[in-house]
Amino acid sequence: MNQDERDSFERPEREVYDRQVAAVLDEHQVELICLAGYMRLLSPLFVAKFLNPHPEYSPFAAPVIPRAGIAAPGARIRREIRGCTVHFVDENLDAGPIILQATVPVLDGRPETTLSEKILKEEHRIYSQAVNIVLEGKYKIEGRRVLRTS
C-alpha cells in the first residue's frame, strides 16, 4: 500500500474501514494476514482471514484471559501455568477460533521479565506453526477450536 492509499484511510467507522482494507487485500489477492499488536476490532468480514497471537494461555478455550492476567468473567486461572494462544480473528476481542496454544510454567522466584521472555519465545514458535497449518488448509473450525484434518 502506498502513502496515498494510507492517507485515504481517514478512520471511518469500522465496517466502512474494513471494506476499504478488504478491497485492497482482494486487489492484491492476499489470502492470509498475520497480525501482531493490531489494536483495532475487525468486522465479521474478516473472520478466518486474519491470524493473531495472544500472550496468554486460556486453559478452557473461552473466555480468553486478558494480558494482565486478570480473569475474564467466569474464567478460572491456574496461576502456575501461563502461556500463549494463536487464533483466527473474529469481530470480538481475542475470541476467534484457537489454532494453537503453548504453556510456560510459572516458577516461584522467577522475575516477571524472564517469564514474559519465555512466553514470547513460545508465541513466536507456535505462530509459525499456526501459519503453516492454515496455509496447508488441513484444518476445520468447530466453535472456538481449530482441528487438524490430517
Residue identified by cell 514458535 is 125
Burial of 84 (0-12, 13-18, 19+ CB in 10 A): buried
Residue identified by cell 474464567 is 75
Cα 71–Cα 96–Cα 123 angle in degrees, nearest 5: 70
- State the catalytic residues: 54
Sequence-distant (6+) residues with CB within 8 A of 61 are: 98, 144, 145
